[in-house]
């Protein structure tokens, strides 16, 4: 089975019903997307498929139709995406385990809604769970990222 | 010697045997210095001047032995060392190091002393200092109890200062100068002629001289890193780029992947299992029975998880009541039952006389809290490699030495043949004070000796095999007179937590009462004429553990809500009466500050709106929240929260704020939504769909303020939690007239 992740083509020999999450983590060693619940309740596994945020724990590899971007492909420590910059500026992460998913959700959301209201942000980000309670800073960071992306 | 010098000598670990005390058991052993573990493994040209700083020609490594579960422990420990060492902490390599007795936690047992935190008498201080003795003897290298900052505050700055002065001495000897003539900056010694010698260049020389021990710590006014408003956590970039490697992400060459299912009746036996279907599934390498369950080793985690689900198990009963109704009946029966009496650490005035003198005036209320899972985002996991002469464990843990000792016992190896490599944790909240998953991983690895095995629990396994926060019940009786609270009597019933946990980890029994039954209620800084708090010990039931803020997580709710009810009965103002009763100056200032911030002028905010105030002193940190709510058609909406803490000093204002609102939200989330209920011995909640957490749209605006009137520095990972639930319950009463005395609140009222 073939797939493109972060601009690189891969071929994997797996069952078609294996979730994309486990192909990424255990077959390709791409561990930015996290296993949190396995039932699309927490959003820690969020990646982009052709730019849209999807829960990789629920997407069977056999149903994948598009290029995959993980947090590692969004930006790197020396080449940060605007959302990551905002996350760092607001010191959002505590344990950080959910933040790959939070950032991927935010980046996809801001692509489609560059000028969000507070309610828009709350609605868009409510499918991502954070047990540490970093929500106040997530809110602030999404706003900062939106402003930054508009300038660009 | 100055007091600071005395503390520094005692807490510092090289060559220092000058301890205060000489008390009770094990004085000799306690006084014997513990060797610096880094000295055993040094290569040529490396220097380990203290157990916390290692330098070689390639760079500087800082050892940060308190584990990071999201609270920022690694970052702050590195900052403490770097402040005195004069290096950029971001340029150093951070490692939790190899667990060892040198890294015992001086402060973690302090909460157990029978004096409240506001008691600053000589006897109370001596007792707290004495708790360092068992901490050292039991090799309590443990992260917990909001103790990382108080434990590290002097110790790690001393480590940095000793290393700095020793490097200066090495430079002085090399250059034929006096050490006093040298300065340090950004990882180098500055010579009077303007030349610099990098620390890395001095490492080999420094290794050959005696460490310079007579160092003085810099005053806060000279700090360049600590206390600054723009401090940045050293792990932030990694956590925002997916490059932080948690235990669940760690990989070892050639490893296999595994999962397990154990009896959901915790401690129950396996009567039988049928793995015939699982054995044939793709990628499955081996089916391995483990204690109380069965595991699958496969070539991929998902294949292991799927194969585990295909195993048909028959479980025996667990050694506790089968369902929640039976469990709560036992808790109810324990309260006020003489035979279940455990301890009474608060007994002022004459409560019995007051209650019998005016029986008709006695106000009563009963409270109830459920078992709670920790449910951090990262499920339990561990990689274990067992060979004939050693065992390696890679896992995120708060208890590395217990893990080491248990792995040694299971493998038949000596303790020093087991190496525990502590990994960053994706949350814990106390979950990773347990190690059943590591024991299972060792059993799996023993079945494929020579091959590393990575065990990952499914979320369902994690939820149903958590050792939860104990369920508890409380009964309050009180009398008000002349608009004042006059009699306050609280009885709390709970299974013992601390002995249960410690026994599971160590095999040792912990005699005496279990203070956690009333921690957070007996020790509050109030003067009430007749004031009594009693702990009753229910039988051991579901095995229980520490959950963020431990005893105070429930007792903060019981104590403050009952106080709020009595104040209402008295017709007094909730904030004014708490202030009138408060006997501790820093605590009073916390209450005053939260009143000012919130513009407090009574609990009412108009029709369908109200606010509640709550206070709890836990882990030495007086903390108050004011929560404002609106009773909308769709349910209770939280509008705004004002939070004030007093931590004595503030080292990282940005992270402090995050810990306070994080504790607050963790507390609110569980108070509103969560419980573990039991049927047929098993927890009924299996994943986040039936163990919901607050979502971003429900989160109010939060303002946090930190005061520094307290007598000494404190940690703030937990204190934000205990007053969260009572502040919300009190606010709901103000807005609706409805008292909520049971968690989760959602059983009694809707939320937006």
| pLDDT greater than 50 at residue B574 | yes
Q: Is beta strand B196-198 parallel, antiparallel or unpaired with respect to B188-190? A: antiparallel
| Nearest chain B residue (CA) to A119 | B697
CB contact under 8 A, A136 and B661: yes
What does the mean pLDDT of chain B come to? 92
| pLDDT greater than 80 at residue B84 | yes
Q: Is residue A138 within 8 angstroms of chain B, CB to CB?
A: yes
| pLDDT greater than 50 at residue A28 | yes
Is B359 exposed, middle or buried (CB count within 10 Å of its CB: 0-12, 13-18, 19+)?
Answer: exposed
Facing B236 at nearest CB: one of A15, A25, A93: A93
Distance CA B728, CA B668 (A): 8
Cis geometry, peptide bond prior to residue B435 (ω within 30 degrees of 0)? no
| pLDDT greater than 80 at residue B7 | no
CB contact under 8 A, A94 and B71: yes
| pLDDT greater than 50 at residue B330 | yes
| pLDDT greater than 80 at residue B5 | no
Distance CA B501, CA B503 (A): 5
Q: Please give the average per-residue pLDDT across A20-37, as a whole number.
A: 98
* pLDDT tens, position by position, B394-416: 999 999 999 999 999 999 999 99
Q: Please give the average per-residue pLDDT across B525-540, as a whole number.
A: 98
Per-residue confidence (pLDDT) for residue B33, from 0 to 100: 55
| pLDDT greater than 80 at residue B86 | yes
Q: Please give the average per-residue pLDDT across B162-168, as a whole number.
A: 93
Per-residue confidence (pLDDT) for residue B56, from 0 to 100: 84
Q: Is residue B90 within 8 angstroms of chain A, CB to CB?
A: no
End-to-end CA distance of chain A: 38
Per-residue confidence (pLDDT) for residue B405, from 0 to 100: 95
* pLDDT tens, position by position, B605-661: 999 999 999 999 999 999 999 999 999 999 999 999 999 999 999 999 999 999 999
Per-residue confidence (pLDDT) for residue B9, from 0 to 100: 36
Is B478 exposed, middle or buried (CB count within 10 Å of its CB: 0-12, 13-18, 19+)?
Answer: buried
DSSP secondary structure string, A132-149?
S--HHHHHHHHHHHHHHH
Q: Which of residues 310-369 of B touch A (CB under 8 A)?
A: none
Where is mean pLDDT largest: B2-11, B146-155, B258-267? B258-267
Residue B141 banded pLDDT, cuts 50, 70, 90? confident
Query: Which H/E stretch holds residue A16?
Result: none
Per-residue confidence (pLDDT) for residue B137, from 0 to 100: 63
| pLDDT greater than 90 at residue B100 | no
Distance CA B110, CA B131 (A): 6
Distance from CA of A55 to the nearest CA of B (A): 15
Q: Please give the average per-residue pLDDT across A119-145, as a whole number.
A: 98
Distance CA B297, CA B220 (A): 54
| Nearest chain B residue (CA) to A76 | B241
Residue B138 banded pLDDT, cuts 50, 70, 90? low
Q: Is residue B238 within 8 angstroms of chain A, CB to CB?
A: yes
Q: Residue B22: how many CB atoms within 10 A of its CB?
A: 9
Per-residue confidence (pLDDT) for residue B357, from 0 to 100: 95
Distance from CA of B274 to the nearest CA of A (A): 24
Using alpha carbons only, what angle is made at residue B112 by residues B705 and B539, rounded to the nearest 5 degrees?
A: 115
> B574-581 vs B585-598: helix axis angle to the nearest 10?
160
| pLDDT greater than 80 at residue B30 | no
Question: What b/e readout covers B283-308, taking b as 16+ CB neighbours within 10 angstroms?
Answer: bbbebbebebbbbbbbebbbbbbbbb
Facing A131 at nearest CB: one of B240, B377, B664: B377
Three-state SS at B382: strand
* pLDDT tens, position by position, B653-662: 999 999 999 9
Residues of B in contact with A44 (CB under 8 A): 377
| pLDDT greater than 70 at residue B6 | no
DSSP-assigned letter for residue A23: I
Distance from CA of B298 to the nearest CA of A (A): 11
Share of chain B above pLDDT 90, in %: 81
Number of H helices, E strands in chain B: 21, 27
Per-residue confidence (pLDDT) for residue B51, from 0 to 100: 83
Q: Is residue B17 within 8 angstroms of chain A, CB to CB?
A: no
Q: Please give the average per-residue pLDDT across B39-64, as a whole number.
A: 80
In sequence order, the β-bridge partners of residue A79 are A76
Distance from CA of A131 to the nearest CA of B (A): 6
CB contact under 8 A, B236 and A131: no
| pLDDT greater than 70 at residue B704 | yes
Contact A101, A46 (CB under 8 A): yes
Per-residue confidence (pLDDT) for residue B124, from 0 to 100: 80
* pLDDT tens, position by position, B192-214: 999 999 999 998 888 888 888 88
Q: Please give the average per-residue pLDDT across B335-346, as a whole number.
A: 97
Distance CA B582, CA B585 (A): 8
Per-residue confidence (pLDDT) for residue B130, from 0 to 100: 67
Q: Residue B412: how many CB atoms within 10 A of its CB?
A: 10
Q: Please give the average per-residue pLDDT across B293-316, as a whole number.
A: 98
Q: Is residue A61 within 8 angstroms of chain B, CB to CB?
A: no
Facing A131 at nearest CB: one of B249, B427, B456: B427
Interface test with A, best of B228, B240, B426 (most A CBs within 10 A): B240
Residues of A in contact with B425 (CB under 8 A): 95
Cis geometry, peptide bond prior to residue B744 (ω within 30 degrees of 0)? yes
> A99-112 vs A118-125: helix axis angle to the nearest 10?
130
* pLDDT tens, position by position, B722-743: 999 999 999 999 999 999 999 9
Residue B102 banded pLDDT, cuts 50, 70, 90? confident
Facing A94 at nearest CB: one of B662, B699, B702: B662
Residues of A in contact with B305 (CB under 8 A): 38
Distance CA B621, CA B142 (A): 20
Contact B502, B508 (CB under 8 A): yes
Helices (H), B572-681: 574-581, 585-598, 653-673
Distance CA B613, CA B626 (A): 4
Distance from CA of A53 to the nearest CA of B (A): 16
Share of chain B above pLDDT 70, in %: 94
Distance from CA of A70 to the nearest CA of B (A): 9
CB contact under 8 A, B661 and A133: yes
Per-residue confidence (pLDDT) for residue B20, from 0 to 100: 23
Distance from CA of B395 to the nearest CA of A (A): 15
Given the cut 0.95, state whether the ipTM is greater than it.
yes
In sequence order, the β-bridge partners of residue B472 are B369, B494
- Report the Cα B597 to chain-centroid distance in Å: 28
Q: Is residue A41 within 8 angstroms of chain B, CB to CB?
A: yes
| pLDDT greater than 90 at residue B111 | no
Q: Is residue B653 within 8 angstroms of chain A, CB to CB?
A: no
Residues of A in contact with B72 (CB under 8 A): 94
Q: Is residue A29 within 8 angstroms of chain B, CB to CB?
A: yes
In sequence order, the β-bridge partners of residue A134 are none
| Nearest chain A residue (CA) to B69 | A95
Facing A76 at nearest CB: one of B241, B379, B687: B241
């Amino acid at each position: 089975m073939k797939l493109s992740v972060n601009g690189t083509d891969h071929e994997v020999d797996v069952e078609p019903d294996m979730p994309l999450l486990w192909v990424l983590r255990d077959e390709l060693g791409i561990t930015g997307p996290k296993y949190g619940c396995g039932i699309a309740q927490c959003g820690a596994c969020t990646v982009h498929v052709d730019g849209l945020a999807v829960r990789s724990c629920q997407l069977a590899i056999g149903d994948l139709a598009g290029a995959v971007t993980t947090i590692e492909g969004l930006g790197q420590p020396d080449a940060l995406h605007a959302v990551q910059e905002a996350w760092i500026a607001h010191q959002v992460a505590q344990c950080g385990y959910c933040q790959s998913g939070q950032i991927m959700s935010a980046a996809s959301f801001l692509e489609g809604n560059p000028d969000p209201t507070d309610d828009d942000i709350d609605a868009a980000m409510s499918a991502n769970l954070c047990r540490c309670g970093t929500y106040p800073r997530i809110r602030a960071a999404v706003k900062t990222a939106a402003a930054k992306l508009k300038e660009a | 010697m100055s007091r600071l010098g005395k503390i520094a000598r005692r807490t510092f670990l090289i060559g220092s045997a000058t301890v205060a005390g000489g008390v009770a058991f094990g004085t000799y052993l306690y006084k014997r210095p513990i060797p610096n573990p880094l000295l055993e493994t040094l290569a040529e040209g490396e220097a380990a001047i203290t157990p916390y700083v290692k330098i070689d020609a390639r760079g500087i490594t800082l050892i940060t032995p308190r584990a990071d579960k999201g609270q920022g422990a690694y970052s702050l420990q590195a900052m403490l060392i770097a402040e005195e060492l004069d290096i950029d902490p971001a340029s150093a390599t951070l490692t939790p190091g190899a667990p060892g007795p040198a890294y015992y936690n001086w402060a973690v047992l302090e909460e157990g002393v029978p004096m409240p935190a506001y008691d600053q008498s000589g006897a109370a201080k001596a007792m707290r200092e004495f708790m360092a003795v068992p901490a050292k003897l039991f090799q309590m290298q443990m992260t917990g109890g909001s103790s990382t900052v108080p434990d590290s505050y002097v110790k790690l700055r001393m480590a940095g200062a000793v290393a700095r002065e020793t490097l200066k001495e090495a430079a002085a000897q090399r250059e034929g100068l006096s050490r006093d003539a040298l300065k340090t900056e950004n990882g180098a010694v500055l010579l009077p002629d303007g030349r610099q010698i990098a620390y890395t260049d001095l490492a080999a020389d420094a290794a050959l001289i005696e460490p310079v021990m007579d160092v003085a710590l810099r005053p806060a006014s000279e700090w360049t890193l600590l206390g600054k408003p723009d401090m940045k956590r050293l792990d932030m970039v990694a956590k925002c780029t997916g490059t932080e490697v948690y235990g669940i992400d760690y990989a070892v060459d050639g490893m296999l992947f595994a999962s397990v299912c154990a009896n959901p009746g915790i401690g129950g036996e396996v009567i039988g299992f049928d793995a015939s279907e699982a054995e044939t599934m793709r990628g499955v390498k081996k089916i391995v029975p483990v204690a109380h369950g069965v595991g699958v080793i496969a070539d991929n985690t998902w294949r292991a998880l799927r194969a585990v689900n295909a195993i048909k198990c028959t479980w025996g009963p667990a050694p506790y009541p089968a369902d929640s109704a039976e469990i709560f009946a036992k808790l109810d029966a324990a309260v006020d039952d003489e035979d279940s009496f455990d301890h009474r650490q608060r007994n002022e005035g004459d409560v019995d006389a007051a209650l019998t003198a005016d029986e008709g005036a006695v106000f009563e209320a009963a409270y109830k809290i459920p078992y709670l899972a920790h449910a951090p985002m990262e499920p339990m996991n561990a990689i274990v490699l067992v060979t004939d002469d050693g065992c390696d464990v890679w896992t995120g843990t708060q208890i590395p030495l217990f893990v080491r000792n248990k792995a040694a016992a299971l493998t038949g190896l000596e303790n020093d043949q087991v190496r525990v490599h502590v990994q960053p944790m994706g949350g814990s909240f106390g979950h990773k004070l347990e190690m059943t998953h590591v024991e299972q991983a060792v059993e799996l690895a023993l079945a494929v000796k020579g091959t590393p095995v990575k065990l990952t629990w499914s979320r369902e396994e994690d939820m149903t095999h958590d050792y939860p926060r104990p369920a508890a019940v409380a009964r309050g009786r009180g009398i008000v007179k002349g608009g004042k609270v006059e009699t306050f009597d609280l009885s709390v019933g709970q299974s013992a937590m601390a002995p249960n946990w410690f026994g599971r980890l160590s095999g040792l029994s912990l005699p005496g009462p279990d203070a956690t039954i009333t921690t957070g209620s007996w020790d509050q800084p109030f003067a009430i004429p007749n004031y009594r708090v009693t702990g009753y010990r229910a039988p051991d039931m579901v095995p229980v553990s520490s959950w963020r803020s431990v005893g105070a997580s429930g007792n903060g709710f019981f104590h403050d809500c009952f106080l709020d009810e009595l104040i209402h009965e008295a017709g007094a103002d909730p904030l004014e009466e708490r202030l009138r009763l408060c006997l501790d100056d820093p605590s009073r200032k916390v209450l005053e500050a939260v009143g000012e911030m919130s513009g407090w002028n009574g609990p009412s905010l108009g029709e369908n709106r109200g606010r509640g105030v709550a206070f709890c002193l836990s882990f030495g940190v007086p903390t108050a929240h004011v929560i404002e709510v609106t009773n909308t058609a769709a349910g209770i909406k939280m509008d705004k929260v004002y939070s004030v803490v007093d931590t004595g000093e503030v080292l990282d204002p940005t992270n402090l704020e995050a810990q306070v609102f994080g504790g607050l939200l963790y507390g609110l989330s569980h108070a509103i939504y969560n419980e573990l209920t039991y049927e047929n011995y098993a927890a009924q909640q299996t994943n986040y769909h039936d163990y919901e957490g607050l979502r971003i749209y429900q989160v109010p605006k939060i303002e946090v303020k930190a005061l520094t009137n307290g007598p000494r520095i404190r940690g703030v990972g937990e204190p934000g939690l205990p007053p969260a639930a009572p502040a919300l319950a009190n606010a709901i009463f103000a807005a609706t007239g409805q008292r909520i005395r049971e968690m989760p609140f959602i059983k009694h009222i809707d939320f937006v």
